[in-house]
Structure formats: C-alpha cells, structure tokens
C-alpha cells in the first residue's frame, strides 16, 4: 500500500526535493529558498509530523551551505531529537558543522559525539580535512563541557 500525501504535504515535499536537487547541483542560494518555502508550508500545515521534522533537518543543512550558521543551528535543533530517534545524523551534523565554522569547537563537541555514535568513523568524510584534528580531539576529550 502506498502512502497518499495530503496536498500541502505534497507541496512541501516537492519544494524540499527541489531544494535537494538545486543543492546537489551547487546552487545553494536557490536551494535554500525552496527549503524555506517547504519549511513555511510545514509550519503552517504539518506541525509535529514526520515530514515537518525531515524538512527542518534538510533546511538546517541548506542554511549551513549558505553560511547562515546561527539559523542552521536553530532550525536543526528543531529536528535533532527526531533525527536521533530515527538514527539519522543530519541535524546534529549541521549543528556541529555550524559551530565549527563559528570557531566554537567546544560547543560542537556533544554534537560530534552524537554523530560518531551513529556513524562511527564515517564522521570524518562529512567534514573538511582541516577539521579532522579538532574532531578527533573532541571525540577523545574527557571534558563533557
């Protein structure tokens, strides 16, 4: 049996998919506009649904891609617990990447640990090579702050 989408759900899903397509093509500025529209539709019509949280996780990643780090963190936090509950690291990844981009390695630490707990050493390809040492230090540090 296939899941039939409500028209608003379909509209949000289509906007998100266009954001994915544009982001994959490297057109991050246009991608984030589609993610923003998907998020707005989800906020207005799909509160508390899986697709709303899925959209927030993608929107958070798209915001990171256009250097809107604070917005990425705030949006990704909305989806974080949902993502973790589904074994998906995207929201935590966007938060960690944003904090690292802001130079806040210590603040990124718990999110790096969440990602590592889900995907192990596959964490490293998700970051710039220049961040590998910071990630290793964060994962091996006994300091939980």
Nearest to 17 by CA among 47, 45, 44, 41: 41
DSSP string, 6-52: PHHHHHHHHHHHHHHHHHHTT-HHHHHHHHHHHHHHHHHH-TTSHHH
- Report the Cα–Cα distance between both ends of the chain, in Å, rounded: 47
On whether the 7-140 domain is CATH 1.25.40.10, my answer is: yes
Please state, in angstroms and rounded to a whole number, the distance separating the CA atoms of residues 45 and 71: 21
pTM listed for this prediction: 0.92
Residue the block writes with tokens 């989800």: 42
pLDDT, one tens digit per residue, over 84-140 is 999 999 999 999 999 999 999 999 999 999 999 999 999 999 998 999 998 998 888
Query: How many Å apart are CA 135 and CA 92, to the nearest integer?
Result: 14
């Amino acid at each position: 049996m296939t899941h039939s989408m409500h028209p608003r759900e379909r509209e949000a899903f289509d906007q998100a998919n266009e954001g994915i397509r544009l982001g994959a093509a490297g057109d991050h500025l246009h991608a984030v506009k589609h993610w923003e529209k998907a998020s707005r539709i989800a906020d207005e019509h799909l509160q508390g649904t899986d697709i709303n949280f899925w959209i927030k996780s993608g929107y958070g990643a798209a915001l990171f891609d256009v250097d809107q780090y604070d917005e990425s963190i705030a949006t990704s936090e909305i989806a974080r617990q949902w993502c973790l509950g589904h074994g998906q690291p995207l929201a935590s990844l966007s938060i960690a990447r944003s904090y690292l981009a802001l130079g806040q390695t210590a603040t990124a630490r718990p999110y790096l640990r969440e990602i590592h707990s889900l995907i192990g050493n596959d964490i490293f390809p998700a970051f710039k090579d220049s961040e590998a040492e910071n990630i290793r230090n964060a994962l091996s540090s006994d300091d939980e702050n």
